[in-house]
Structure 1
C-alpha cells in the first residue's frame, strides 16, 4: 500500500503549517511501515491547466504517476477566501491527462482531507476537496480534519501540534489505512 501527502499550499518555509502537518502524517505512516511520499505543490512547477496543449508537460506526467500509484491520498490545504488555493485546484485539474487510461483520474483511491483556517471556516475547504475528489472518482473518507490555525500548535512551542489535533490526525490516518473501510467492500452492489 502506498500513500501520497498532497501539500496544496504554496508555502516552503520549514516551520510552516503545511510542512509541519505533512511531516507529521508522513512520520505516522512511516511508523506503520507504509511507503509514502510528500508532494509539495510549491516545488512541482506545474503550468496553468491547458486543454489545448499537444504534449503533456513532464512535471504533469510525474505528478499523475505519483497520484495514480498511491492507494491512499492525504490532501492538505489552507483556506483562502472561502476555498482551497487555486494552485491546488489547478494541480488536481491536471489529472485530466489520465482520462483515457483504464483506471482514469483517482478511481477507487481513498482520500483523507485536512484544511486549516485562521477562523472557524476550514470546513469550506474540506467541502471543496470532497467535491473534487468525488468528481475524480475517489472515495473521500467520511471523517475529515478541519483545523483552527490559532489552536493548531502548542502556545509554548509553535512547531508542536497540540494533542487534540494530533488525535484527529491520527484518527484520519487510521481510517485511511484501515482495510475494513475499503470503498470496494462498502459499495459493492447487491446481486439479485
Structure 2
C-alpha cells in the first residue's frame, strides 16, 4: 500500500520536512511504499478557482495523492495555523483525493507545541472527507532536533512519533482489510 506524505514547508530543511521524512522511514519499516511530496521541491502556482489545474506541479500533486491509500500532512505552525504553501496545495485538491483515506497530521512549532495548526488540518481533512487519525504528531522547541540520520534526538519525542505512526498504521490496515 502506498502512503503519500506532503511536506508543507517552503524551506528545504524545515523541521516539519525532516519530521515527515522520519515518518516515511517508519512507514517503510512496516512495509508501506511511501512518496514524500515536498512543497519546497514542487512549487505550486497560487490557487484560483478553475485556474492552474493543468500546471505540471499541480498534476504531480494530484497524482501523488490520488494514487495513495493514505496521506500524511506535515506543516510548520505559523500564527496558530498551517503554512500558506500547504493550504494552497490542499486548495487544489477536493474530496475525490481524500474520500475514505486515513490521514495523519503532523506539526512542528517554534514554541512548545503546534496544536492550533493540527486542529486546522483536521478540520480541512474532515471537509475533504478524509479520515483523521485519532493520534497526531506535534513537536516544538528542542523536540525539533534530529540527528545526522534524520532520527529524533530526544527519545521521548521518538516514542511519541512512533506511537502516532503505529496508530496510523493500525487505522490504515483496518480500513483496507
Offset of residue 105 of structure 1: 3.2
1:152 aligns with 2:160: no
2:127 to 132, 135, 138: 135
Over the residues paired in the alignment, what is the CA RMSD in angstroms? 2.3
**Contact 1:9/1:85 (CA < 8 Å) preserved in 2?**
yes
Offset of residue 160 of structure 1: 4.5
Offset of residue 56 of structure 1: 2.2
Q: 1:147 to 1:105 in 2, by over 3 A?
A: same
Offset of residue 112 of structure 1: 0.7
* Number of the residue aligned with 1:105: 97
Q: 3-state DSSP class of the match of 2:6? A: strand
Offset of residue 181 of structure 1: 6.9
Instruction: Structure 2: give runs of 5+ residues left out of the alignment.
Output: none
Provide, for residues 36-77 of structure 1, a one-character-per-residue CA deviation record: whole Å limited to 9, x for no partner.
010101111211111143762121121111111111211111
Offset of residue 125 of structure 1: 0.5
1:12 aligns with 2:4: no
Offset of residue 176 of structure 1: 1.4
Q: 3-state DSSP class of the match of 1:133? A: helix
Runs of at least 4 residues off by over 3 Å? 157-160, 179-185
Number of residues of Structure 1 aligned to a counterpart in Structure 2: 175
Write the distance in 2 (CA, Å) between the matches of 1:180 and 1:3. 10
* Alignment of structure 1 residues 48-87 onto 2, 5 Å: 48-53=46-51, 56-87=54-85
**Contact 1:175/1:181 (CA < 8 Å) preserved in 2?**
no
Offset of residue 83 of structure 1: 0.4
Offset of residue 10 of structure 1: 1.1
2:36 to 12, 18, 38: 38
| Structure of larger gyration radius | 1
TM-score by length of structure 2 reads 0.88
Instruction: Structure 1: give runs of 5+ residues left out of the alignment.
Output: 186-192
Write the distance in 2 (CA, Å) between the matches of 1:17 and 1:141. 21
Write the distance in 2 (CA, Å) between the matches of 1:32 and 1:55. 34
**Contact 1:112/1:176 (CA < 8 Å) preserved in 2?**
yes
